[in-house]
Amino acid sequence: MAGWISKELAVILVPVITLIAGCIIGYLAQRTGFCAIGGFRDYILFKHTRLLKGFFAIVVSAFVAYLVFHAITAGAFEHFPWALTSGLLSPVPGAPADMSSAAYLILALIGGAGIGVIGVYLGGCPLRQFVMTTEGNMKSLWFVIGMAVGSVLFYIITMGFVKGLLKVIGL
């Protein structure tokens, strides 16, 4: 047993703690009007940093939580931190499709640009769309449904094509 608790107990505790933290983050996001894309938009257009501070707070909090979970049960995080143990541009352990680092980077950039463009058109990031759905916004509900269905369809239909195409071009 490496860490404070066994790997078997961590399998139960980590999801429960994550669910509780997710509920707290969701509540705070709803109360503050949090939006990552809106934070960057407000900073670029108006030099307002209120929403951007929330974005950086979530990034820092996630990293700190990762460190805490690792300290509690190191055995549950075999490749922690993967960027230092496997190389900065190596795929995250357990990533699907068994592609090269460059392929994952290209897909991440395409996905990030897509979420950014769609978020600008919708007026908020995916987290904000979830929050607005709980507030009764039907446009956001359709986004959430579309995101779920689109994720499944992308994996089922296009992932094989994308994987094959990236292998053909040597990535």
Q: Give the model's pLDDT for residue 87.
A: 67
Task: For residue 74, name the pLDDT band (cuts at 50, 70, 90).
Answer: low
DSSP 92: P
% residues pLDDT > 90 (the chain): 5
Give the pLDDT confidence score for residue 135 in this predicted structure. 87
How far apart are the C-alpha atoms of 45 and 5, rounded to whole Å? 48
Whole-model pTM: value is 0.66
